[in-house]
Amino acid sequence: MAVSMEALADDLAAESADLRGLLAPLSEPDWKRDTPAPGWTIADQVSHLAYYDDVAVRSAVDPDAFRAELERLDAEGGVDPDATAARYRDLSGESLLSWFDEARARLVTTFRALDPSLRVPWFGPAMSAASSLTARIMETWAHGQDVADALGVVREPTARLRHVAHIGVGARAFSYVARDRTPPGEPVRVELRAPDGGTWTWGPGDAPDRVTAPALDFCLAVTQRRHRDDVDLTVTGPVAARWMEIAQAFAGKPGPGRARGQFG
């Protein structure tokens, strides 16, 4: 089935609206609440999303400018999300929410009109426009989880988790490359229980290495928002086990993840 940029853009808009619903009522002190990401407040989570929304638009409409900026960053030691977050810590919550709204609207409008197969550069391998937009859904959900955790909110799982899981499965090889390891050639079957009770699958049905889980638990694991031991994963086979130890759905350097038992 052909990829629909309209459908992806609609899902990103819906995920954005859910996050905005958490952010809009916040007082100024609330924006400074610590999240489970070490050293990051709610404000940092939102500036990160807004900043990379703007970068994603630039990668699509002016790829040469994006590549030039990436070369500059590489020459200075690479991308540093912590330094980027620190740059915007003087912004008020109102300003951050306005930036997020404007950057997200530009992103959705720009990508909605693109050919899904268009290759766009990014931090790491280039990807299709469809994959880039799917990655923004994943990022929004993952950073939204940090915000929800900071506020003590439990979010209802939605069918949009399929995008998060898809990126997590697709990033399997990158999880090894990011750690200077060689990705294994053996396939892994992934079977997830969707929020509506259905089943989502990736990989050959006869693969001996398998991961079976509720979709939410798998997504929490591959975005490193929960420790592997704190989610309901059934992992069969050594190849699948090694992957789940290092899985990351996001580009960039491996993160510290979350501690075992951190959320009770």
Q: What is the pLDDT of residues 243-262, one digit of tens each?
A: 999 999 988 888 888 999 99
At 11-57, the pLDDT tens digits run: 999 999 999 999 999 999 999 999 999 999 999 999 999 999 999 99
In a domain, 253, yes or no: no
| 131 & 32 share domain | yes
In a domain, 260, yes or no: no
Mean of the pLDDT values across residues 69-86?
A: 87
| 135 & 206 share domain | no
> Angle CA(13)–CA(84)–CA(114) in degrees, nearest 5?
35
In 3-state terms, what secondary structure has residue 187?
Answer: coil
Quote the percentage of the chain above a pLDDT of 90.
Answer: 89
| 151 & 231 share domain | no
At 183-219, the pLDDT tens digits run: 999 999 999 999 999 999 999 999 999 999 999 999 9
| 93 & 176 share domain | no
Number of structural domains in the chain:
2
Distance CA 237, CA 252 (A): 27
Report CA-CA distances (Å) from 231 to 7, 160, 200, 212, 262. Answer: 29, 19, 18, 11, 12
| 150 & 171 share domain | no
Q: Which domain range does residue 236 map to?
A: 163-246
In a domain, 208, yes or no: yes
Please state the pTM of the whole predicted model.
0.95
